[in-house]
Amino acid sequence: MVDAVEALGVAVVGFGWMGRVHARAYARVRHHYPQLPLRPELVAVAEEVPGRAEEAAAQFGFASATRDWREVAADPRVRAVSVTAPNFLHREIGVAMAGAGKHLWIEKPVGLTAADARAVADAAAAAGVQGTVGFNYRNAPAVEAARDLIATGGIGTVTHVRIRLFSDYAAHPESALTWRYERERGGSGVLGDLASHGADLARFLLGDIASLTADTAVFVPQRARPVAVTAGHARAAGGEPGPVENEDYVGCLLRFASGARGVLEACRVSVGEQNTYGFEVHGTRGAVFWDFRRMNELGISRGTAYQDQPVSTVYAGPGHGEFAAFQPGAANAMGYDDLKVIEACRFLRSIAEGVPHGATLRDAVHSAAVLDAMARSARSGAWSDVDAGP
């Protein structure tokens, strides 16, 4: 006998690249997790760019399309919402959706500051709705395997970690001056975009960050304003030039509550680097290494040799994280979109069971508190404590 499956009306607010990723994840999630008690139904999409919502409805099968996200908040068919709009809208939309009783799957960094992330978290808690956040890299089975290895003492006591997030998406001097480069709408630049992932990975792997000192820089100080609607990281040669207001680069020293030390570095203008994201965690008896470009592999060194101890490659397999929901045997590759399917599953499980699974709004508050401390430290030149609140 097949258990009854409840339909869940979902909506996507903001339909750029990430909105498409969420829509695909909803479409695939029950292929990989057939025992889920909820079946997502795409009932509404909201996107302010003229015609884009209608295109999304035609391609993905949303029942209705609108340019106004407030119509989604008022729609009784919608019980859960993906918020994939630009960062400066996260707080307003997130608080409104929670207040309307909608469960939230919201992209990082959840606003421009820790206060924004906390406002959304508080609104969700007050409304009794679930809140999942798009820290997708922690969902990689190899990353979850690394966390388990660290937690069980597989590399001894952790001494230090290096986390890097380098990209060239903004390296071209003709990249359009979109909201991403404005302080009011894009917040702290590469801090909110890439370093937010790094802060989450650091805490996911090693626990809370107690204090830090950071340095930031803008390497491409001027860009051309776009003359038409843009999507992604478009170029805008010939447009009126304007100033880049937020950070291209951040380098940061970390002190963890455990006593471990760390380095976190992120840059959006790294020529020659494409999604060079990863970490190296060292302990008293070993080390573990992960590179997103080889997402399904871990480098592991452990034993009692200490000096000249070799590193072995371990391939993610059915015993690691959610790998078995996607592939039958080790070294069969998973991809980026699969991480968002895992996220969709955990979001739906949170709704069905009434308890959080995966990255939560509280995790977003912690990440944002780290970013705020980075910004303070970069201004003052001093160490800054990380305060995520109660």
Is residue 150 situated within a structural domain? yes
Decide which of 102, 135, 168 is a domain's last residue: 135
Cβ proximity of 78 and 102 under 8 Å: yes
Number of domains into which the chain is organized:
2
pLDDT of residue 230: 59
Decide which of 110, 135, 160 is a domain's last residue: 135
Residues 172 and 282 in one domain: yes
Residues 25 and 106 in one domain: yes
Q: What is the mean pLDDT of residues 129-142?
A: 98
**What confidence tens digit (pLDDT) does each residue in 85-106 have?**
999 999 999 999 999 999 999 9
Residues 186 and 103 in one domain: no
Q: What is the mean pLDDT of residues 162-175?
A: 94
**Residues sharing a CB contact under 8 Å with residue 76, sequence separation 6 or more, in sequence order:** none
Is residue 390 situated within a structural domain? no
Q: In this predicted structure, which of 117-131, 182-196, 363-377 has the lowest mean pLDDT?
A: 182-196
Is residue 272 situated within a structural domain? yes
Q: Structural domain of residue 200, as residue ranges?
A: 137-334+359-385
pLDDT of residue 390: 78
Q: Which amino acid is at 151?
A: A
Is residue 342 situated within a structural domain? no
Residues 206 and 303 in one domain: yes
Question: Which phi and psi angles does 32 have, rounded to 5°?
Answer: -95, -25
**What confidence tens digit (pLDDT) does each residue in 221-231 have?**
999 887 755 56
Residues 124 and 146 in one domain: no
Q: What is the mean pLDDT of residues 307-311?
A: 96
Cβ proximity of 164 and 276 under 8 Å: yes
pLDDT of residue 389: 85
Q: Greater confidence, 236 or 94?
A: 94
Query: Residue 1 pLDDT more than 50?
Result: no
Decide which of 117, 135, 153 is a domain's last residue: 135
Q: What is the mean pLDDT of residues 5-28?
A: 97
How far, in Å, CA of 195 to CA of 87, rounded? 14
**What confidence tens digit (pLDDT) does each residue in 64-81 have?**
999 999 999 999 999 999
Residues 200 and 306 in one domain: yes
Query: Residue 43 pLDDT more than 90?
Result: yes
Residues 54 and 173 in one domain: no
Residues 222 and 363 in one domain: yes
Measuring CA to CA, which residue among 374, 287, 352 is closest to residue 103?
352
Query: Residue 339 pLDDT more than 70?
Result: yes
Preceding omega of 109 cis (within 30 degrees of 0): yes
Output the domain CATH number for residue 320: 3.30.360.10
Q: Is the dihedral of CA 303, 306, 307, 312 positive or negative?
A: positive
Query: Residue 296 pLDDT more than 50?
Result: yes
Output the domain CATH number for residue 83: 3.40.50.720
Query: Residue 2 pLDDT more than 50?
Result: no
- Residues belonging to the chain: 390
- How confident is the prediction for the chain on average, in pLDDT? 95
How far, in Å, CA of 137 to CA of 290, rounded? 11
